[in-house]
A and B are shown apart, each in its own frame.
Chain A
Amino acid sequence: QIQLVQSGPELKKPGESVKISCKASGYTFTNYGIYWVKQAPGQGLQYMGWINTATGKSTYADDFKGRFVFFLETSASTAFLQINNLKNEDMAAYFCTRGPYYFDYWGQGVMVTVSS
């Protein structure tokens, strides 16, 4: 069956970096883009952008340009989100999901806690 399995929770200090993985299985990885969604505590869903799994090209929403990086390890059917220079406002759950139009499969989410 189709699954997106994400890495575990993270506890980081401001200024550090974090790398979150999203491993896909049950379908051809390069046929569907991977999209990333942020959910701050008690808040709604915020679209971050996506990575084209066939070409590796990333597109970022305006709020996520600069410190956020999407990349792939295609041989392992895995997408990654890296957040550099963490800030308090990055504390959130981060979901990967499969696109491109509607999001039919989701990872379980990764909670990133930022605390000094």
Chain B
Amino acid sequence: GAVVSQHPSWVICKSGTSVKIECRSLDFQATTMFWYRQFPKQSLMLMATSNEGSKATYEQGVEKDKFLINHASLTLSTLTVTSAHPEDSSFYICSARPRDSGTEAFFGQGTRLTVV
């Protein structure tokens, strides 16, 4: 089956620093990648949709200057949390949709971000 690799799986950073999370589709080309955030005991909330070669589309309430998304190739999208604060601590999950796929995208394993 399709594999999506997300790295790192967990990260601890100091408040004010930036953190980059990578999402790679290992065995397929993904024209669209999605970034979600999940707080404890809550469902996934879509943050942004990333299309290869174009600017990401952010959901309402998500600061595009704080959560920088780059989808430079058909197999890689990155999310950079800039000037992280403790309230940004969360579980960040990417998913990638195979090109020409009628099914849903496949999820990465998630990144647990803790800002101290």
Q: Decide if A and B are genuine partners.
A: no
